[in-house]
Amino acid sequence: MTAGSFQIEYGNQAINFAIIRRDRKTLEIAVEPDMSVVVAAPFNAKIEDIKIKVRKRAAWVRRQQRYFAQFLPRTPERLYVAGETHLYLGRQYRLKVVPHIQDGVKLIRGFILVQTHFPDRANVTQQLVEDWYRMRAQVKFRERVELSLDRFSNPEAFRPAGLTIKSLAQRWGSMSPAGRLLLNRRLIQAPVDTIDYVITHELCHIAEPHHGAAFFSLLGRVMPDWEKRKLKLERYMA
């Protein structure tokens, strides 16, 4: 449950943040790749107490925002026209749109080939490409979950209760308290090793729900190069 947008003053600048209410005991501040700030807070946390916490972490928030700022400007919005480039598993493919009696999308010799009744309608091309991405994500993400589980000494203890794939505005993924893994559909455009990073990160939350020392210790043991993969993800998907 989102409680809306709030603001604190830090020096001569303002930090805007959103609050998401969750069934939890502690408060967590996250800076997303788009430089937005999200605070996950217990249902009974007072707004003023949350603001005090954000103000205490303001210097850290600004450092994180400066880190993500280096990847701006972001990739321009796609128009879904022939010749435009699109990512799939970290590789660039040119969009090729051809008239055809049967709708379909496939990879062929460096192209994402879109076959459609309406080759001049960008909205139709977009829907076909999005559906294809979603279908590939269902297959590829499940495959990578199984491979990522093998990083753990007791894989079954980290097996998620389910997998949901959605288009998310901010996060690459999350793990619910019930153990359901949520992954951003956009990850299907990222390199496989960075997809594995996101999945492994979220699987670690089954044992360690919060981003404390124990969480990063576990993540470092099962994926020693996670920081390099995280940086690669941000560069590719900027």
pLDDT digits (tens, 9 = 90+) for 165-206: 998 877 899 999 999 999 999 999 999 999 999 999 999 999
Lowest mean pLDDT across 8-17, 57-66, 124-133, 205-214: 8-17
* pTM exceeds 0.85, yes or no: no
- Angle between helix axes 213-222 and 192-207 (nearest 10 degrees) is 140
pLDDT for residue 77: 76
Q: Is 79 within the bounds of a domain?
A: no
Write the burial class of residue 29 (CB in 10 Å: 0-12 exposed, 13-18 middle, 19+ buried): buried
Mark whether 196 and 179 lie in a shared domain. yes
Burial annotation 82-100 (CB, 10 A radius, 16+ → b, else e): eebebbbbbeebebbbeee
Mark whether 232 and 146 lie in a shared domain. yes
Host domain of residue 11 = 2-69
Q: What is the mean pLDDT of the chain?
A: 91
Give 32 or 202, the one with higher predicted confidence: 202
Mark whether 119 and 48 lie in a shared domain. no
pLDDT for residue 53: 95
Does residue 73 have a cis peptide bond before it, meaning omega lies within 30 degrees of 0? yes
Mark whether 170 and 214 lie in a shared domain. yes
